[in-house]
């Protein structure tokens, strides 16, 4: 994938540039001009603890949105609910214009909602290359009827291998191509998971602390690569604790605290918001 | 002590129909456990349905043997679907429990006195497998023997094991072809981490079901070979240990490899028969104290199975990947 900005794919209309998001007022739950994800009244409790309690949230298409909040704020739980890995108590949401009625992780993934996990899920006994290849969508060879006949899937496989090798190269994993993924270091596993998610050709990629444990220089360059992809139409939502990364690459920031969205807006505004600072310092506000 | 005879017995067992049956059971388990990570503890249920489907079709309903074989295999598919639908979405342990229970329930039902009219109940069932032996190209006179020294088979046995090993080879080839494909990659990803596979859009349930059916049908083929070899079926031949012998063979040879289950089945029967023959000869030795001889005689079979178990324990300690497995893969488990 070239670094320069490519022409926008036809699926995304020409006016989904960064600019419209700048006209949106920084108010929690505010509507967006081109939302790809619309969430309403989503709740999830664990015993007496309300981990997620979102009244309304819209995620703008083709934009990099950071989801921040203190530890235990419910960020991962929100990801789990939206991607079908956990069941919501109440609530509904739509993705890419279609309501998500019975969320199942694999169906949502096939529609282009691809997520990574905070605790990496590398497939230990598969090679690094196979890990990435697994991400490729619509593989002919994954159908049992075609599997025994190599000629039916070989061409697609070779094209996928080429793509996968480019990704591995970009993620500094090319030298580990044929090693088993179980032999990778913690940071390398994070990288592998992001590469695998990109291989899946996502419409919206949801990254749960993708660069935790990755050396800062590489993390920077990779996150910039991901913002490039946003220029090409990809929607990016990522959870991150490092504020410099958040301000560096996100167009929009959503702040979660105790399950609720307490603020959203452009990064330079949000990080100076009193309520956000209070939430991070662990102070509770009356009526929150 | 005649080691020629001991070796001959062991070699005959290692390449005889019993090893074919065990190899098929283990290949099926390899698809379940080795490649997909499905803990199937009821593999014997598939063998049972293969054997009884064939036997009952011919003996009770008077259908042709070929129809019987088909019935046996269709019943194996049915068992896979019936087991898989309610349990494959549950935790792996639930699946394991249900499989072992289901196989036992089927065996007990088939062997109950109420089933005498259909399956022969506890009396076992027998049929005429002539349709199979009619095709035997090996001359089968009373003095025809094939092999060298004590390692020899009759013409009928030759025919069963020829067909049996060709079947094992074909099945292994098919398993190789489907598992080295992207389809097989999905299976392995499910074994490693189901949620990772789901997050990339793979329908985990569907793949597990496909693996369960394929491995089950392969086990069913083992049952068919068993029925033809014995011209019938007996409920006592399908106790849970059959599944555990198949696991032993699979782990001996190396799970998640292509040749492992076949080599493991051969080795299993070689060891088991070698030890049993050895003990039998030992008890006949004059120098053996009477107390020891009394202890051994009559329990040679049990002791040999125990020794095979011991071999497995030693193997797990010193070569946990099995004969053909990959050491590096095994070491990853410890991380
Ligand atoms: N399966 C669960 N069972 C019980 N409680 C849970 C479960 N998952 C999450 N929680 C609770 O829900 C709250 C939110 O957890 P979550 O993992 O979403 O936080 P987070 O914002 O991702 O935090 P971090 O930044 O530390 O990753 C926490 O208080 C956590 O203890
Ligand atoms: Mg989290």
Query: How far off is chain A from B206, nearest CA to CA, in Å?
Result: 11
Whether ligand 1 lies within 6 angstroms of the CB of A101 is answered as no
Average pLDDT taken over every residue of chain B: 92
CB B105 within 8 A of CB B90: no
pLDDT of residue A284: 55
Would you list which residues of chain B are within 8 Å, Cβ to Cβ, of chain A?
Answer: 174, 177-178, 181-186, 188-189, 191-193, 195-204, 210, 256, 328-329, 332, 335
C-beta neighbour count of A15 within 10 angstroms: 10
Averaged pLDDT for residues B217-237: 96
pLDDT of residue B311: 85
pLDDT of residue B143: 85
Cβ A180–B328 below 8 Å, yes or no?
Answer: yes
Torsion, Cα of B111, B117, B123, B128 (10° steps): -110
Q: Within a domain: residue B157?
A: yes
Best of A76, A80, A241, A280 to mutate for ligand 1, by most ligand atoms within 8 A of CB? A76
Ligand 1: centre distance to CA A69 (Å): 12
Distances (CA, A) of A58 to A29, A94, A125, A188: 7, 10, 39, 32
Residue of A nearest to B327 (CA): A125
Structurally, chain B folds into a number of domains equal to 1
Question: Is pLDDT larger for residue A231 or for residue B34?
Answer: B34
Residue in the block written with tokens 């697609």: A156
Tell whether the model's pLDDT for residue A2 goes beyond 60: no
> In sequence order, which residues have a C-beta less than 8 Å from that of residue A8 and are 6 or more positions away?
A14, A16, A231, A232, A233
Length of chain A: 288
For B72-97, what is each residue's pLDDT tens digit?
999 999 999 999 999 998 888 899 99
pTM over cut 0.95? no
Count of A–B CB contacts within 8 Å?
A: 107
Tell whether the model's pLDDT for residue A217 goes beyond 60: yes
Tell whether the model's pLDDT for residue A35 goes beyond 60: yes
Q: Within a domain: residue B272?
A: yes
Q: Within a domain: residue B125?
A: yes
Q: Within a domain: residue B117?
A: yes
Tell whether the model's pLDDT for residue A18 goes beyond 60: no
Question: Any idea what DSSP says for residue B279?
Answer: H
Tell me the C-alpha distance between B282 and B175, whole Å.
Answer: 42
Tell whether the model's pLDDT for residue A278 goes beyond 90: no
Ligand 2: centre distance to CA A52 (Å): 12
Cβ B201–A85 below 8 Å, yes or no?
Answer: no
Length of chain B: 335
Coil vs helix vs strand at B238: helix
How would you class B176 by CB atoms within 10 Å of its CB: exposed for 0-12, middle for 13-18, buried for 19 or more?
A: middle
Tokens encoding A52: 């997620």
Best of A48, A74, A79, A255 to mutate for ligand 1, by most ligand atoms within 8 A of CB? A74
Among protein residues, the one with the nearest Cα to ligand 1's atom 31 is A72
pLDDT of residue A14: 45
Q: Within a domain: residue B145?
A: no
Among protein residues, the one with the nearest Cα to ligand 1's atom 28 is A72
> Phi and psi for B274 in degrees, rounded to 5?
-60, -50
A200 touching chain B per CB within 8 A:
yes
Q: What is the number of the ligand closest to the CA of A75?
A: 1
How would you class B27 by CB atoms within 10 Å of its CB: exposed for 0-12, middle for 13-18, buried for 19 or more?
A: buried
Q: Within a domain: residue B40?
A: yes
Tell whether the model's pLDDT for residue B166 goes beyond 50: yes
Of the candidates B65, B68, B48, the one whose C-alpha atom is nearest the C-alpha of residue B110 is B48
Tell whether the model's pLDDT for residue A70 goes beyond 90: yes
CB A131 within 8 A of CB A196: yes
Predicted confidence band of residue A19 (pLDDT cuts 50, 70, 90) = low
For B252-267, what is each residue's pLDDT tens digit?
999 999 999 999 999 9
What CATH number has the domain bearing residue B183?
A: 1.10.3470
Whether ligand 1 lies within 6 angstroms of the CB of A76 is answered as yes
b/e sequence B118-152, b meaning 16+ C-beta within 10 Å: ebbbeebbbbebeebbeeeeeeeeeeeeeeeebbe
For B265-284, what is each residue's pLDDT tens digit?
999 999 999 999 999 888 88
Q: Within a domain: residue B11?
A: yes
Q: Within a domain: residue B144?
A: no
Ligand 2: centre distance to CA B148 (Å): 69
CB B90 within 8 A of CB B277: no
Tell whether the model's pLDDT for residue A91 goes beyond 70: yes
A24 touching chain B per CB within 8 A:
no
For B300-331, what is each residue's pLDDT tens digit?
888 888 888 898 888 888 888 888 877 777 77
Using CB atoms, pick whichever of A106, A125, A137 lies closest to residue B203: A106
Among protein residues, the one with the nearest Cα to ligand 1's atom 18 is A74
Tell whether the model's pLDDT for residue A60 goes beyond 90: yes
For B128-154, what is each residue's pLDDT tens digit?
999 999 999 999 888 888 988 888 899
Query: How far off is chain B from A154, nearest CA to CA, in Å?
Result: 9
For A149-203, what is each residue's pLDDT tens digit?
999 999 999 999 999 999 999 999 999 999 999 999 989 999 999 999 999 999 9
CB B226 within 8 A of CB B50: yes
Q: Which domain holds residue B194?
A: 3-139+150-332
Please report the domains of chain A, with CATH numbers, ordered by start residue.
19-120+203-281 (3.40.50.300)
Residue of A nearest to B329 (CA): A125
Ligand 1: centre distance to CA A77 (Å): 6
Q: What is the number of the ligand closest to the CA of A82?
A: 1
């Amino acid at each position: 994938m070239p670094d320069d900005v490519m022409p926008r794919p036809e699926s995304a209309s020409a006016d989904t540039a960064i600019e419209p998001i700048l006209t949106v007022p920084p108010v929690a739950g505010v509507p967006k001009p081109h939302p790809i994800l619309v969430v309403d009244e989503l709740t999830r409790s664990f015993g007496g603890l309300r981990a997620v309690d979102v009244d309304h949230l819209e995620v703008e298409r083709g934009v990099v949105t950071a989801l921040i909040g203190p530890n235990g704020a419910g960020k991962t739980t929100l990801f789990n609910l939206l991607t079908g890995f956990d069941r919501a108590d109440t609530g509904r949401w739509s993705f890419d214009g279609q309501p998500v009625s019975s969320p199942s992780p694999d169906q949502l993934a096939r529609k282009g909602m691809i997520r990574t996990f905070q605790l990496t899920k590398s497939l230990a006994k598969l090679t690094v290359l196979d890990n990435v290849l697994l991400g490729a969508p619509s593989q002919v060879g994954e159908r049992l009827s075609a599997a025994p006949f190599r000629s039916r899937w070989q061409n697609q496989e070779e094209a996928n291998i080429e793509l996968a090798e480019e990704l591995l190269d970009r993620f500094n994993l090319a030298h580990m191509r044929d090693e088993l993924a179980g032999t990778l270091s913690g940071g390398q596993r994070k990288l592998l998971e992001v590469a695998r998610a990109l291989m899946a050709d996502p419409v919206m990629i949801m990254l749960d602390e993708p660069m935790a444990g990755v050396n800062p220089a590489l993390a920077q360059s990779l996150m910039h690569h991901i913002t490039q992809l946003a220029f090409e139409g990809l929607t990016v939502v990522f959870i991150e604790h490092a504020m410099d990364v958040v301000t560096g690459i996100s167009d929009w920031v959503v702040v979660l605290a105790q399950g609720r969205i307490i603020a959203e807006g452009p990064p330079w505004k949000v990080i100076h918001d009193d309520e956000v600072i209070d939430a991070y310092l662990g102070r509770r506000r009356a009526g929150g | 002590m005649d080691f020629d005879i001991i070796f001959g017995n062991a070699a005959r067992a290692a390449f005889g129909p019993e090893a074919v049956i065990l190899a098929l059971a283990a290949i099926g388990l390899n698809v379940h456990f080795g490649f997909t990570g499905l803990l199937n503890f009821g593999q014997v249920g598939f063998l049972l349905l293969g054997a009884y489907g064939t036997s009952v079709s011919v003996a009770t309903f008077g259908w042709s043997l070929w129809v019987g074989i088909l019935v046996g295999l269709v019943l194996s598919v049915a068992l896979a679907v019936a087991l898989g639908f309610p349990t494959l979405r549950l935790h792996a342990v639930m699946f394991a429990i249900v499989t072992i229970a289901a196989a036992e329930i089927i065996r007990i039902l088939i062997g109950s006195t109420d089933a005498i009219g259909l399956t022969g109940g506890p009396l076992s069932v027998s049929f005429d497998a002539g349709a199979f032996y009619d095709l035997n190209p090996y001359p089968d006179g009373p003095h025809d023997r094939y092999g060298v020294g004590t390692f020899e088979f009759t013409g009928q046995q030759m025919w069963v094991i020829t067909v049996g090993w060709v079947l094992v080879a074909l099945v292994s080839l098919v398993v190789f072809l489907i598992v080295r494909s992207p389809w097989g990659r999905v299976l392995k990803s499910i074994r490693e981490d189901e949620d990772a596979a789901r997050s990339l859009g793979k329908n985990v349930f569907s793949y597990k079901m496909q693996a369960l059916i394929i491995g089950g049908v392969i086990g069913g083929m083992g049952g068919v070979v068993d029925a033809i070899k014995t011209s019938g079926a007996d409920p006592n031949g399908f106790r849970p240990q059959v599944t555990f012998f198949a696991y032993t063979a699979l782990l001996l040879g190396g799970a998640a490899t292509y040749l492992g289950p076949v080599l493991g089945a051969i080795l299993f029967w070689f060891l088991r028969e070698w030890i049993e023959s050895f003990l039998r000869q030992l008890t006949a030795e004059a120098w053996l104290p009477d107390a020891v001889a009394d202890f051994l005689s009559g329990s040679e079979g049990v002791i040999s199975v125990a020794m095979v178990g011991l071999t497995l324990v030693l193997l797990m300690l010193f070569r946990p990947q099995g004969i053909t497995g990959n050491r590096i893969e095994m070491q990853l488990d410890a991380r």
